[in-house]
Amino acid sequence: MKSWKVREIVVMSVISVVFAVIYLLFTHFGNVLAGFFGPMGYEPIYGIWFIVSIIAAYIIRKPGAALISETIAAFVECLLGNPSGPMVIVVGLVQGLGAEAVFLAARWRVYSLPILLLAGMGSSVTSFIYDLFVAGYAALSPGYLLLMLTIRLFSGALLAGLLGKVISDSLAYTGVLNGMALGKELKKKRKQVSQHAGF
Partner 1 sequence: MQDSNELLSIDRLTFSYEEDEKPIFKDLSFQIQKGERALLLGPSGCGKSSLALCINGLYPEACDAAQTGRISLFQKNIEDFQAAEKPSLHIGVVFQDPDQQFCMLTVEDEIAFGLENLQMPKEEMKERIDDVLVKLDLTGLKGQTISALSGGTKQKVALACILAMEPDLIILDEPTSLLDPHSARSFVHMIKELQEEKGFGLLVIEHQLDEWAPWVERTIVLDASGQKVMDGETPDIFQFRSEELKKIGVAIPHVAAMQENLNVPFTLSKEMLFTQPFPAFEEGKNLPLTEDVLEVNGLSFSRGQRAIFSDISFSLRAGSLTAVVGPNGTGKSTLLSVLARLYKPKSGEIRLFGKPLHSFSENELRRQMGFVFQNPEHQFVADTVFGELVFGHKHQKDAAEKAHDLLRRFGLDHVLTHHPFALSQGQKRRLSVATMMMHDLKILLLDEPTFGQDAKTAAECMELIESIQAAGTAVLMITHDMELVSAFADNVLVLHDTKLVYQGAPAPLFSEQNEIVQQAKLAWPLQYEWLHHKQQEEHHEPAITNH
Partner 2 sequence: MNQQLQTINPTIKAAAVFCCVVMLSFIYNPYTPACFYVIIVVGVLSAARISLKKWLLFTIPFLILAAGCMWTAAVFGKVPTTADNLLFEAGPFEINRENALVGISLGFRILCFSALSMMFIFTTDPILFMLSLVQQCRLSPKLAYGIIAGFRFLPLLKDEVQIIQQAHKIRGGASENGLKEKLASMKRYTIPLLASAIRKAERTAIAMESKGFTGSRNRTYYRTLTVAPRDWLFFLLVLLLFSVSFFISLCFS
Residues near partner 2 (CB under 8 A) are 1, 4-7, 9-18, 21, 28, 31-32, 34-41, 68, 72, 75-76, 78-88, 90, 133-136, 139-142, 144, 167, 170-171, 174, 176-177, 179
Cβ-based nearer residue to partner 2, 133 or 199:
133
Phi-psi region of 48 (alpha: psi -120 to 50; beta: other; left: phi over 0): alpha
Task: Provide the binding-site residues for partner 1, judged by CB under 8 A.
Answer: 7, 173-176, 178-179, 184
Classify 85 in phi/psi space as left (phi over 0), alpha (psi -120 to 50) or beta: left
CB 63 within 8 A of CB 99: no
Q: Cβ closer to partner 1: 132 or 167?
A: 167
Q: Which is nearer to partner 2, 3 or 195 (CB)?
A: 3
Encoded amino acid at 104, one letter: L
DSSP letters, 56-83, are HHHHH--TTHHHHHHHHHHHHHHHHT-T
Cα Dmax for the chain: 66
Distance CA 165, CA 149 (A): 23
**How far is residue 86's CA from residue 100's CA, in Å, rounded to a whole number?**
21
CA-atom Rg of the chain in angstroms: 18
As measured in angstroms, the least distance from the Cβ of 190 to partner 1 is: 12
The distance of closest approach from Cβ of residue 12 to partner 2 in the complex, given in angstroms and rounded to an integer, is 7
Residue number with CB closer to partner 2 (142 or 198): 142
Nearest approach, Cβ of 168 to partner 1 (angstroms)? Answer: 16
Closest CB to partner 2 among residues 32, 113? 32
The type of residue at 4 is W
Provide the minimum distance between the beta carbon of 166 and partner 1 in the complex, in angstroms, as a whole number.
17
Q: Closer to partner 1 by CB, 11 or 118: give it.
A: 11
Interacting partner of 18 out of partner 2, partner 1, none (Cβ under 5 to 8 A depending on kind): partner 2
Nearest distance, CB of residue 84 and partner 2, angstroms: 5
Q: Which does 184 bind (CB under 5 to 8 A by kind): partner 2, partner 1, none?
A: partner 1
